[in-house]
Structure 1
């Protein structure tokens, strides 16, 4: 029953001690980046932790400033605001930023992370800001659900307040565990700060931790709790001891409720104030769910659960009752384009709320972040944000 203790649970869930100590993440050139294309630095959190971050410059922008960047010192940057890369980001009115939240285990450049950063920045003007959560890599502290959300908020505070970027130039991308962090950060900014970002992309995501663990297998081979499905009472006992819950579907549903209610109220206010533009008053949510059909770690059905949960506030009958699961499935099918065995795209739009789900046939659990759906969706979101300005 060791798995019921918080210490063991968190080591299993976050696997933050699986860190390649022999790899110096303050030297991004070791992972194929140009000299000083990446600035390695630390960010403070509101509860006093220090988290490791990378700011990756897009290569076309890097090329314009190559001589100046290469003349700067390499390694860890003690004051990121004094760096040339920060100056470039802060003073470029066309700069767009991807804030990336990675999955469990390893550190910033591990597995597919460095290759994905290279791909996103290779031919675009997209900057990347990625962080190691508390307890990961060279970040201080130990991981908890609330702590990881605070880490994500520290990254967004840096982007919004320190770098001065507007929210419509920022996309949040979360992969696996990082998708839950992205949902938590987006929900907090929508609820507490009234801030809506250009988009939130959830890659290989899960609806909540209990459901995910019931079907999760490490590397697709080693099941965690799946064998206990034959013993439901034991499974319920263990799941009842979880200290972190990661209710991503509910958090995203909360954002839909916030945006929908706010727009209804603003619509009523606009009618009373003819000088106020309806377009200016609108809040928005662009949510994208991307999952590979051959993901053996987190079943792709988890995205279906998120899609159905998030739609709840938008699909009601005349009496205000939410649609049943069967009704939602029928409505979703009307908006679905099938693209071959196991692959489809479903898109639901309701005012300024857009929810898009893509099931891609290949990519497994990790490689999917390198496959076309993710980069194409980044492009779509930024293009749509530009059209709305």
Structure 2
């Protein structure tokens, strides 16, 4: 056989393979328009790692003897959620014995220690190894209790997952903590990956209802499922949906068919508590640019607007000068507001305090601090909101929260660890210097925060008051 015939045969086989791959790709996208397949692809709740988990025996997965209480939480729509309550390490060590269930000590633990309400990502269960590492790290290094919940349709929870359903699950978990003795100001809402969409919506919901929480931590978040699809690469290399963006209207089909949106970007104006966003540069699943978008969305109302010329061809010299001046003013204001701390071999932290920037509500431009009072009976006073973004060098996607450097920052920012003096460069008092700190370890600079490290409403509920609305119950 001649070399030319062999080359033609290889080319024909390659075309066939590409055609088959293209057909499979088209069929897969078509299936994603079907709600059943779309839900399973997003939540992956059928992957219940570890398989055949014994949730009554958390010790089998690395947690200490009788440190964890396995139980069920009931939601307002009558689903039951599998949950673990893990005692903080110092409280656990103070118990007279480790031979009995921790159930009788839960109320006392909630009053003695802060609590992280943890919402995990898609797939697997609360007993998954990476999640166990988070519980252990938080309960020991941060000295907090941890409540970990499996959403409806996951692990031993009933029902099927949906966006609204997962938010109801999150609210049920929050209300269980309150009904069991926790103060809202002592609850840190924390989400990872998919759980960041749940956490953001819960925080926005509580904020609208003027209910207290200490703050929210978003680890490896996405700005929205729509934007995630545009940037998602399988194994960090193979784009999933991006090829469609070059075909006119093709991506519109995907967004039209999307029923689970988790649009965190849209609820940002409603979150009034302290926010910490954390992402690793080496995250293959969700690019850290999603966190940059979220951080900038919190910051944007505080910066001067920029009028982008509608037609660059007909733009006059005066218009161009005004445009460049607006960009310069915006950059200068950002440098004035945002404090940057560079930590050698760890990453960069940016932070600012929102003392009432402007935002748009109902077509009206209003001060950000006044936004929190909008729609509230009798109004309310403007509140400060601290926003922190930690971009780490390492952590991949699943292990951001187990980085001790991040744990220390969370501990300091949310008042879980003893405060440290602010690190101020010797020449910071000189006029014209940007508020940037460069440190050689895992220490951080502290922005001005309240002693509690969180937000509580001016019309909040006292610790002894009756809790309004439906209360989640232990049913098992």
Distance in 1, Cα, partners of 2:93 & 2:77: 38
- Report the equivalent of 1:292: 280
- Report the equivalent of 1:358: 390
Deviation at 1:220, TM superposition (A): 3.2
CA contact (8 A) 2:162 2:260 kept: yes
CA contact (8 A) 2:226 2:255 kept: yes
CA contact (8 A) 1:167 1:195 kept: yes
- Report the equivalent of 2:180: 163
Mapping 1:223-302, distance limit 5 Å: 223-255=239-271, 259=272, 285-302=273-290
- TM-score norm. by structure 2 comes to 0.67
Distance in 2, Cα, partners of 1:166 & 1:97: 9
Deviation at 1:376, TM superposition (A): 1.7
Please give the per-residue CA displacement for 1:133-165, whole angstroms capped at 9, x wherever unaligned.
Answer: 0000000001000000000001100112x1232
Please give the per-residue CA displacement for 1:67-125, whole angstroms capped at 9, x wherever unaligned.
Answer: 1x4134xxxxxxx9xx22324324x3x31000001000000021410011011112443
- SS across alignment from 1:109: coil
Query: Which of 390, 409, 412 is 1:380 aligned to?
Result: 412
* Alignment of 1:54 onto 2:87: no
* Alignment of 1:12 onto 2:16: no
Deviation at 1:337, TM superposition (A): 3.4
- Report the equivalent of 1:42: 72
The structure carrying a bigger helix percent of its residues is: 1
1:388–1:175 distance in 2 versus 1, CA, 3 Å: closer
- Report the equivalent of 2:125: 107
* Alignment of 1:371 onto 2:403: yes
1:109–1:226 distance in 2 versus 1, CA, 3 Å: farther
Distance in 2, Cα, partners of 1:251 & 1:328: 24
CA contact (8 A) 2:89 2:144 kept: no
Please give the per-residue CA displacement for 1:205-243, whole angstroms capped at 9, x wherever unaligned.
Answer: 011110011112345355432333333521221122100
1:345–1:32 distance in 2 versus 1, CA, 3 Å: same
Query: Which of 95, 98, 123 is 1:65 aligned to?
Result: 95
Query: Which of 129, 144, 164 is 1:146 aligned to?
Result: 164
Distance in 2, Cα, partners of 1:343 & 1:195: 34
* Alignment of 1:347 onto 2:347: no
1:15–1:388 distance in 2 versus 1, CA, 3 Å: closer
Distance in 2, Cα, partners of 1:311 & 1:157: 31
* Alignment of 1:30 onto 2:34: no
Distance in 1, Cα, partners of 2:212 & 2:453: 13
The alignment covers a number of residue pairs equal to 342
Stretch moving more, 14-23 or 179-188 = 14-23
1:227–1:326 distance in 2 versus 1, CA, 3 Å: farther
CA contact (8 A) 2:107 2:182 kept: no
Deviation at 1:373, TM superposition (A): 4.1
Query: Which of 112, 120, 123 is 2:138 aligned to?
Result: 120
Please give the per-residue CA displacement for 1:4-34, whole angstroms capped at 9, x wherever unaligned.
Answer: 1111111000000000332212210011111
- SS across alignment from 2:170: helix
1:327–1:236 distance in 2 versus 1, CA, 3 Å: farther
* Alignment of 1:205 onto 2:221: yes
Please give the per-residue CA displacement for 1:143-200, whole angstroms capped at 9, x wherever unaligned.
Answer: 000000000001100112x123222211111100001110010001111x20242111
- Report the equivalent of 2:365: none
Gaps spanning 5+ residues in structure 1: where?
Answer: 73-79, 260-284, 318-323
* Alignment of 1:135 onto 2:153: yes
- SS across alignment from 2:414: helix
- TM-score norm. by structure 1 comes to 0.81
- Report the equivalent of 1:320: none
1:347–1:60 distance in 2 versus 1, CA, 3 Å: same
Query: Which of 194, 198, 210 is 1:177 aligned to?
Result: 194
CA contact (8 A) 1:292 1:365 kept: yes
- Report the equivalent of 1:280: none
- Report the equivalent of 1:88: 108
